[in-house]
Amino acid sequence: MIIVMKPGAPMQECEKIKNGLINNGFQINEIVGVNMTILGVIGDTSTLDINLLRVNDWVEKVMRVQEPFKRANRMFHPEDSVVDVNGIKIGGKKIVVMAGPCSVETEEQIISVAKSVKLGGAAMLRGGAFKPRTSPYSFQGLKEKGLELLKIAKQETGLPIVTEIMSADKIERFVEDVDVIQVGARNMQNFELLKELGKTNKPILLKRGLSATIEEWIMSAEYIMAGGNDNVILCERGIRTFETYTRNTLDLSAIPAVKKLSHLPIVIDPSHASGMWWMVEPMAKAAIAAGADGLIIEVHNDPEHALCDGAQSLKPERFAHLMGELKGIAQIIGREM
């Protein structure tokens, strides 16, 4: 960590800061420049609060040299992490596709979609039981009943279940019923929820917040890992920008960035980012080409009558066709599907 002192900072102020840090076990290396003095802080600075150092009025700025995350940091864990979901490995050579409807609606619907996506090549079933909606007047999901229907679909197809949790009081139920617990973009910094999930050993699919930096996103993974649960899968689903033609801007450069910074696997959700089914296909192909470890895609057998987000759902036939192309791209870049 680098502490830049203001021009003319009195020696005793520098000393005060240095001594504070030395007393906390850090070493300090000083660089005296033309206009300003710089203090280089040596030690494990990941637990140092940058704001506590900025408080001294003689400090111009404080800059981190090293990322503030440890357990999620590739520097200390050079090989890729592989998360095991009932024997399916996420983060290895094989790319994993999770597919299914935005919302669980009826038993018939979820079983029908589950069978279709399995046939198409999906390895897991996604489907929302608890739905975060911008409007209190929109359909909020079937809730516990939705979890029941997902379990039936799993029995019928053998596909593990991925579904979103919205509050910590449901964790016990999710741990029992669900194979991958999804934390939605809006809850990426719901720290109380993250802490509780860190106490389980369930795989967690952690979506990136709408305006979360890659660092903040990995810090949210660190919250879960700090609690003892290393089974974190990162999921990029579009960030908020000034562009309004697409609902969000899918940030595919997050794939190589995450792979550089962290050892955790990363999957891409092309459905939520664009909000339009005809964009899902090119963006899914692009995600695989860019090195994603998996995809999470909305598929619905009857999008026109979907209770939510039908406009971004693929029909089963298109999904199956897309899977064929994805397989081809995976092969070109040395992966499997």
User: Interface residues for a copy of itself in 112-141 (CB under 8 A)?
Assistant: 132-139
Pull the structure tokens for residue 140: 């909020």
Q: With contacts defined by CB under 8 A, name the span among 1-9, 83-91, 106-114, 146-154 that binds a copy of itself.
A: 1-9
**208: DSSP letter:** P
Of residues 287, 296, 297, 299, which one binds a copy of itself by CB under 8 A?
Answer: 287
Pull the structure tokens for residue 6: 């203001």
Q: Does the protein bind a copy of itself through residue 19 (CB under 8 A)?
A: no
Burial class (CB in 10 A: 0-12, 13-18, 19+), 120: buried
Q: Does the protein bind a copy of itself through residue 44 (CB under 8 A)?
A: yes
Q: With contacts defined by CB under 8 A, name the span among 92-100, 144-152, 172-180, 284-292 that binds a copy of itself.
A: 284-292
CA neighbours closer than 13 Å in the CB half-sphere of residue 326: 31
Of residues 106, 155, 167, 201, which one binds a copy of itself by CB under 8 A?
Answer: 167
Burial class (CB in 10 A: 0-12, 13-18, 19+), 258: buried
Name the nearest CA neighbour of 75 among 112, 46, 47, 101.
Answer: 46
Pull the structure tokens for residue 247: 């609902």
Q: Does the protein bind a copy of itself through residue 156 (CB under 8 A)?
A: no
Name which of 88 and 230 has its Cβ closer to a copy of itself: 230
Pull the structure tokens for residue 69: 């995350």
Of residues 33, 158, 173, 201, which one binds a copy of itself by CB under 8 A?
Answer: 33
Name the nearest CA neighbour of 103 among 268, 235, 299.
Answer: 299
Q: Does the protein bind a copy of itself through residue 189 (CB under 8 A)?
A: yes
Of residues 77, 111, 156, 310, which one binds a copy of itself by CB under 8 A?
Answer: 310
State the minimum distance, in angstroms, from the CB of residue 213 to a copy of itself: 6
Contact pattern for a copy of itself over residues 49 through 88, marking x by CB under 8 A: x-xx-xxx----x-x-xx-x------x-------------
**For the residues of 286-335, what is the DSSP string, one character each?**
HHHHTT-SEEEEEB-S-GGG-SS-GGGPBPHHHHHHHHHHHHHHHHHTT-
Name which of 82 and 311 has its Cβ closer to a copy of itself: 311
Of residues 4, 22, 82, 320, which one binds a copy of itself by CB under 8 A?
Answer: 4
> Cα–Cα distance between 72 and 206 in angstroms, integer?
13
State the minimum distance, in angstroms, from the CB of residue 158 to a copy of itself: 29
State the minimum distance, in angstroms, from the CB of residue 325 to a copy of itself: 6
Are 121 and 294 spatial neighbours (Cβ–Cβ below 8 Å)? Answer: no
State the minimum distance, in angstroms, from the CB of residue 283 to a copy of itself: 6
Of residues 90, 206, 234, 306, which one binds a copy of itself by CB under 8 A?
Answer: 306
3-state secondary structure of 256: helix
**For the residues of 23-60, what is the DSSP string, one character each?**
HTT-EEEEEE-SS-EEEEEES-GGGS-HHHHHTSTTEE
Q: Does the protein bind a copy of itself through residue 201 (CB under 8 A)?
A: no
State the minimum distance, in angstroms, from the CB of residue 167 to a copy of itself: 4
Q: Does the protein bind a copy of itself through residue 275 (CB under 8 A)?
A: yes
Q: With contacts defined by CB under 8 A, name the span among 93-101, 103-111, 153-161, 298-306 that binds a copy of itself.
A: 298-306
Within positions 210 to 269, which residues make up the interface with a copy of itself, using CB under 8 A?
A: 210-211, 213-216, 219, 222-223, 226-227, 239-246, 249-253, 255-257, 260-261
Pull the structure tokens for residue 130: 């608890």
